[in-house]
């Protein structure tokens, strides 16, 4: 197992990283990336154990509903990189199991790679969304074939890939990228049916990053996002060689969607785990705002908070249903219910903007215009903030100012805007969850109930 300092040292490996158009020589010291690195390093230290046989038990697959529940609860406490690692490896396990015995060499490679990740305590990111080009054209009709990652050369010892993957959170500060096809490929698109693992510092890999992380002098304004912002990677592969042992799919179009669907399941159940926790937090923020403003007894405010409580409860109910209705693989590990996972993710993502709208309605304009924390630190201006931000005994100007800043940071800052997009799009857009939910819904049972209710049992189906 690695310590936090060993993790930091492992990132100084010659990786080609850019941020805001400038080359980043050391991600561990860059002012926009350093705190993200520190967060992951703290995760390493929290789970570190000495000994050659020590390993992070999180890498082990869950083997019961209770095991899955505990694993998901732990996910909400971990840094982003460990979450993406476990989702990536769980997706590989699931894809290997679903591919069946017809592709035993790939299954062995998958198992060996997962074991290698565990033994070396590396962090990885799932790398799936292609640039895609013109969305209404097939791959063969694109102006540029590189808008989807594809194999450009096959060698006896491996393959060479070119293309780009977008929206890859924390790619610049992890070790491995697990590439998967973004969709089902058709006959004739065999070069694009490729899944593999690539080190971040592999020759030919370039990562262009954006970041909403606050700078050091902005930390007071960002009490929540200062420890939660990760760089977002635009990952380019230019003739990158991948050895055979790291290739998990190469041309088998019939399995191209298997990886995406497997990843979608684990991304979405991880997403609703965080969503259940965060929805409760949003309910709490709404109540704190109402209490600080003296409006918690006003009927329409109470009604709005009650609506938020219902949304939060239904998301958690969907999560619990997904955990309670697991499927067990022949290998003895479990996967969450596709039906409840996707239904809960769809509902939670769709209602997220409503949750934020209620908070903004309860909080009012101070969410956007509250005085700067610097005004509290300045002896000349602090009395003014204390006087006019105070509302009652027990609600000081400083308390209410800091509460509004937290709400602004969480819901209305750069982070707040990023969060709204991430909740909606992560794990695939809302339409994807509709499709999978419908696929796993027992429509025949519903139709049988309808026929019985209508007295049509004797008619042909």
DSSP states along 129-142: -B--SSTTS-GGG-
Task: Give the Cα separation of 105 and 247 in Å (integer).
Answer: 10
Q: Which domains does the chain have, with CATH numbers?
A: 4-254 (2.40.110.10), 258-447 (1.20.140.10)
* CA distance linking residue 404 with residue 392, whole number of Å: 16
Rounded CA separation 374/18 (Å)? 32
pLDDT score, position 78:
64
Residue 16: both structure tokens together? 């080609």
Rounded to the nearest 5 percent, the helix, strand and coil shares of the chain are: 55, 15, 30
pLDDT at 426: 87
Phi, psi for residue 209 in degrees, rounded to 5: -115, 150
Phi-psi region of 124 (alpha: psi -120 to 50; beta: other; left: phi over 0): beta
- Cα–Cα distance for residue pair 80/95, rounded to 1 Å: 22
**Whole-number Å distance between alpha carbons of 420 and 356:** 9
What is the largest distance, in Å, between two alpha-carbon atoms of the chain? 85
| Beta-carbon count within 10 A of 287 CB | 17
**pLDDT value, residue 102:** 65
Q: What is the pLDDT of residues 124-159, one digit of tens each?
A: 999 999 999 999 999 999 999 999 999 999 999 999
Measured distance CA(372)–CA(376) in Å, rounded: 7
Residue 315 half-sphere exposure toward CB, CA atoms < 13 A: 31
Paired strand residues for 124: 176
Low-confidence spans in the chain with pLDDT less than 70: 78-79, 101-103
Q: Contact 211/33 with Cβ under 8 angstroms? A: yes
**Residue written as token pair 């390493």:** 44
Q: Is 132 left (phi over 0), alpha (psi -120 to 50) or beta?
A: left
At residue 258, the pLDDT reads 92
| Contacts for 83 with CB less than 8 Å, ≥ 6 apart | 75, 270
What does the pLDDT look like over 338-397, one tens digit per residue?
999 999 999 999 999 999 999 999 999 999 999 999 999 999 999 999 999 999 999 999
Residues 6+ apart with CB under 8 A from 104: none
Strand ranges in 131-192 using DSSP code E only, listed in sequence order? 150-155, 158-169, 176-179
């Amino acid at each position: 197992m690695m310590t936090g300092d060993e993790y930091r040292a492992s990132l100084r490996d010659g990786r080609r990283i850019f941020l805001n158009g400038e080359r980043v020589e050391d991600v561990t010291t860059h002012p926009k990336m350093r705190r993200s690195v520190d967060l992951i390093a703290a995760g390493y230290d929290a789970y570190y154990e000495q000994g050659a046989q020590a390993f992070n038990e999180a890498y082990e697959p869950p083997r019961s509903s209770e095991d899955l529940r505990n694993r998901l609860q732990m996910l909400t406490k971990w840094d982003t990189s460990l979450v993406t690692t476990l989702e990536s490896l769980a997706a590989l396990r699931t894809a290997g199991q679903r591919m069946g015995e017809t592709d035993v060499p790939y299954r062995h490679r998958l198992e060996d790679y997962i074991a290698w990740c565990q033994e070396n305590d590396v962090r990885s990111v799932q790398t799936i969304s292609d640039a895609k080009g013109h969305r209404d054209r097939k791959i063969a009709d694109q102006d540029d074939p590189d808008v989807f990652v594809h194999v450009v050369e096959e060698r006896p010892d491996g393959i060479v890939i070119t293309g780009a993957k977008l929206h890859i959170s924390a790619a610049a500060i992890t070790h491995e990228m697990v590439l998967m096809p973004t969709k089902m490929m058709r006959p004739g698109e065999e070069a694009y049916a490729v899944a593999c693992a690539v080190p971040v510092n592999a020759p030919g890999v370039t990562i262009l990053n954006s970041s909403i992380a606050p700078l050091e002098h902005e930390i007071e304004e960002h009490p929540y996002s200062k420890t939660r912002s990760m760089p977002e990677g635009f990952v380019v592969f230019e003739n990158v060689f991948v050895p055979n042992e790291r290739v998990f799919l190469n041309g088998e179009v019939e399995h191209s969607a298997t990886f995406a669907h497997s990843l979608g399941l684990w991304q979405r159940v991880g997403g609703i785990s965080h969503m259940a926790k965060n929805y409760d937090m949003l309910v709490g923020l709404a109540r704190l705002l109402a209490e600080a403003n003296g409006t918690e007894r006003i009927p329409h405010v109470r009604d709005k908070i009650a609506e938020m409580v219902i949304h939060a409860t239904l998301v958690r109910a969907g999560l619990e249903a997904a955990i309670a209705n697991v499927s067990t693989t022949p290998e003895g590990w479990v996967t969450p219910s596709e039906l409840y996972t996707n239904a809960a993710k769809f509902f939670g993502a769709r209602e997220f903007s409503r949750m934020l709208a209620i908070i903004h309605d309860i909080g009012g304009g101070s969410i956007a215009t509250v005085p700067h924390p610097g005004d509290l630190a300045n002896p000349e201006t602090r009395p003014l903030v204390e006087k006019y931000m105070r509302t009652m005994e027990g609600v000081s100007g400083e308390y209410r100012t800091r509460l509004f800043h937290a709400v602004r940071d969480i819901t209305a800052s750069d982070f707040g805007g990023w969060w709204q997009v991430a909740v909606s799009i992560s794990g695939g857009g809302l339409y994807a969850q509709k499709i999978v939910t419908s696929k796993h819904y027992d429509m025949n049972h519903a139709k049988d109930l309808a026929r019985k209710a209508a007295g049509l049992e004797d008619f042909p189906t």
